[in-house]
């Protein structure tokens, strides 16, 4: 079993849901991905631009091309062309906010940047592993930056950065010194970087959470514990023993 951040959160919300998906191989209902496209384009734009060394060649046409490719890759049908035009206008505007924030906060001046960096660490006995992909690792791993194309506080979960830091620390044998959310759509440019306070105990607590999941998984403990909201949007609810 591979323990990612998304799996950890999903398992803690409802172990039975993850049992259905991962063990019983129930195929989740396909989500309507149109609402996720702006965020996905923003992430991809930042990734492309960073890999090019934050050069000056990024234009609105670049953003349009990314939107076009991702729309086709996900087989999204817009129906009304005006809806697509609104999304195009939005992603171009948000790309300009990314550029503005990167330059204002000096991200383009950093060295040793790795974008969309994937880490994986096998656990004892090699039965399970912990893995994750970090949006940006800078300064030889001393700084982790996670990008969120939303201003909603509910997406700014500091535990996500703690999880990545624990994984990175187990590989490099030292923890990052700085954890940050990059929030380019925040109205005020000063608010587009949010540093997260953390302590050594946070990493210990995260390790215990991972260990708890492994113990429950190996023991076959999969109670249905989803709350009203998670059950409402659950992609496998039709197979759940609560309904």
Surface-to-core class of residue 200, CB atoms within 10 Å of its CB (0-12 exposed, 13-18 middle, 19+ buried): exposed
Q: What is the pTM (predicted TM-score) of this model?
A: 0.91
pLDDT score at 35: 84
> How many angstroms separate the CA atoms of 62 and 197, rounded?
35
**E strands present in 41-162:** 114-122, 129-138, 143-147
pLDDT digits (tens, 9 = 90+) for 124-171: 777 899 999 999 999 888 999 999 999 898 889 999 999 999 999 998
> How many angstroms separate the CA atoms of 196 and 179, rounded?
5
Is residue 176 a contact partner of residue 165, using CB atoms and an 8 Å limit?
A: yes
pLDDT score at 243: 60
Query: HSE on the CB side for 209, CA within 13 Å?
Result: 22
CATH number at residue 64: 3.90.320.10
Is residue 41 a contact partner of residue 67, using CB atoms and an 8 Å limit?
A: yes
Mean pLDDT for each 10-residue chunk of the chain (243 residues)?
94 93 87 86 96 93 95 86 93 97 96 92 86 93 94 91 94 92 96 95 96 94 86 85 67
Q: Please give the structure tokens belonging to residue 28.
A: 């989740």
**Which residues is 180 bridged to in the sheet?**
145, 195
pLDDT digits (tens, 9 = 90+) for 216-231: 999 999 999 988 777 8
What range does the domain containing 13 cover?
2-239
For the chain, report the end-to-end CA distance as a whole number of angstroms: 27
Give whole-number Cα distances, 128 to 125, 131, 160, 240, in Å.
8, 10, 19, 26
Selection from 144, 200, 152 nearest residue 5 by Cα: 144
Give the chain's domain count. Answer: 1
Is residue 140 a contact partner of residue 147, using CB atoms and an 8 Å limit?
A: no
């Amino acid at each position: 079993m591979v323990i990612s951040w998304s799996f950890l959160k999903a398992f803690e919300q409802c172990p039975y849901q993850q049992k259905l998906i991962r063990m019983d191989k129930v195929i989740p209902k396909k989500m309507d991905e149109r609402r996720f496209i702006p965020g996905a384009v923003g992430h991809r734009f930042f990734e492309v631009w960073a890999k090019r060394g934050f050069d000056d060649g990024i234009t609105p046409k670049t953003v349009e091309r990314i939107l076009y490719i991702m729309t086709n890759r996900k087989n999204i049908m817009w129906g009304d062309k005006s809806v697509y035009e609104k999304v195009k206008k939005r992603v171009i505007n948000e790309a300009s906010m990314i550029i503005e924030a990167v330059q204002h906060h000096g991200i383009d001046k950093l060295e040793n940047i790795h974008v969309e960096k994937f880490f994986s660490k096998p656990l004892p006995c090699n039965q399970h592993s912990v893995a994750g992909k970090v949006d940006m690792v800078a300064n030889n791993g001393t700084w982790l930056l996670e990008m969120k194309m939303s201003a909603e506080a509910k997406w700014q979960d500091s535990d996500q950065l703690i999880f990545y830091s624990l994984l990175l620390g187990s590989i490099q044998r030292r923890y990052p010194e700085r954890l940050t959310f990059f929030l380019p759509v925040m109205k005020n440019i000063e608010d587009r970087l949010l540093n997260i306070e953390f302590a050594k105990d946070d990493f210990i607590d995260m390790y215990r959470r991972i260990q708890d999941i492994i113990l429950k998984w190996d023991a076959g403990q999969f109670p249905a514990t989803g709350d009203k909201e998670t059950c409402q949007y659950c992609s496998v609810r039709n197979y759940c023993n609560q309904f």
